[in-house]
Amino acid sequence: MKKAVPVIIIVVLFFASFLQLKAGSLIAKPVIIDKKGEPRITLKEVVVLESQANYKMNIYAVVNNIDILDGDREFKISSQVDLSKSLANWIEISRGVIQLLPGEEKSVDLEIKIGPKAEAGIYHAKISFFEGSTREEAEARKQGPSTLINLEISDNSQEGARLKKFSAERPIFFKMPVAFSFRLEDEENKPLPLDGRVMIYNRRGEEVAVLPINKEGGVASWEGPEQKLLLANLGETGGGFGRYKAILRLSYGAKRTLIQDTVFFWVIPWPIAVVFILILTALIGSIVYAFYKLYNQRSYDQIE
């Protein structure tokens, strides 16, 4: 029964427009325009107005959305309406006066510029052509034919996210935590449900830690476009010091598309780093001293 409601309303609107079209002094053709489209595309159509009056007519176009349950809806400016669902706001047609001489036919161009965030579905709108000396008078009288527009928007969006970045915060970490970040780039700019993990391996190929990636895990910061992961420790098998490999394995969207990337990093605890710096300093000092001593010896030999 619910499926029959839209059909019944469209039929009623069709006959109402047909009767209004024949009864008045103005004819609008076609009575119904059926279109299909996708977000971000523009559809072009032409409505032909024919005067059957014996005087000059001043016509104004009025656009309204049609709700299949509530009927006509008042046109609202862009800032007051959800542009992802408003066919009336996608329709561009001359809002100035259209003048018709007795017996004259005139073509009126219209464009349907489907919004970039338009949601899939079937939308209905009505373009009414009212007569009046001013727009205010025409809209108040509401006398004139209408053209009904039915637009079906298909859901052809593809989950086209790609991994823009996956990296360690720095190549060498002297203490915990180790921080990673990743960034996804999605052309559709839609929220994507993410699920996955970062697996950490030591130089021997042993898995030493796993970071879950999901909204409930508390590991990922979901504020902003860049997600940050913190690794508190490397487990007992990690041994602390050494070179590690982090593998990001991420699935996203309804199709669970898989993304994978790898990054390498070092962990050198401060005590080891201090010892290494002291050894390196001593080694450099010894080399400098050796060169200095060799230089002085050669200078002494030349003097003799």
DSSP 12-41: HHHHHHHHHHHHSSEEEE-SEEEEEE-TT-
Looking at the chain, the domain(s) classified CATH 2.60.40.10 span 4-153
Query: pLDDT value at position 189?
Result: 54
Residue 151 has pLDDT above 80, yes or no: yes
Mean pLDDT over residues 115-133, rounded?
91
Residue 233 has pLDDT above 50, yes or no: yes
Say which range, 5-14, 57-66, 79-88, 149-158, has the weakest mean pLDDT: 5-14
Instruction: Note the helical H segments in the chain.
Output: 4-23, 87-90, 135-141, 270-303
Query: pLDDT value at position 95?
Result: 85
Q: pLDDT confidence of 222, banded at 50, 70, 90?
A: very low
Mean pLDDT over residues 128-136, rounded?
93
Mean pLDDT over residues 70-84, rounded?
56
Q: pLDDT confidence of 143, banded at 50, 70, 90?
A: confident
Q: pLDDT confidence of 109, banded at 50, 70, 90?
A: very high
Query: pLDDT value at position 32?
Result: 93
Mean pLDDT over residues 150-175, rounded?
79
Mean pLDDT taken over the chain: 78
Closest CA to 26 of 6, 2, 48: 48
Q: Measure the CA–CA gap between 144 and 89, rounded to whole angstroms.
A: 21
Of all residues in the chain, what percent carry a pLDDT higher than 90? 30
Looking at the chain, the domain(s) classified CATH 2.60.40.2550 span 162-268
Mean pLDDT over residues 170-198, rounded?
76
SS3 category, 71: strand
Say which range, 89-98, 238-247, 267-276, has the weakest mean pLDDT: 267-276
Domain 162-268 has CATH 2.60.40.2550: yes
Residues in a beta bridge with 246: 200, 263
Query: pLDDT value at position 21?
Result: 42
Q: Measure the CA–CA gap between 244 and 246, rounded to whole angstroms.
A: 7
Give the architecture (CATH level 2) of 4-153.
Answer: Sandwich (2.60)
Which are the contacts of 47, defined by CB distance < 8 A and separation ≥ 6?
28, 29, 30, 93, 107, 108, 110, 127, 147
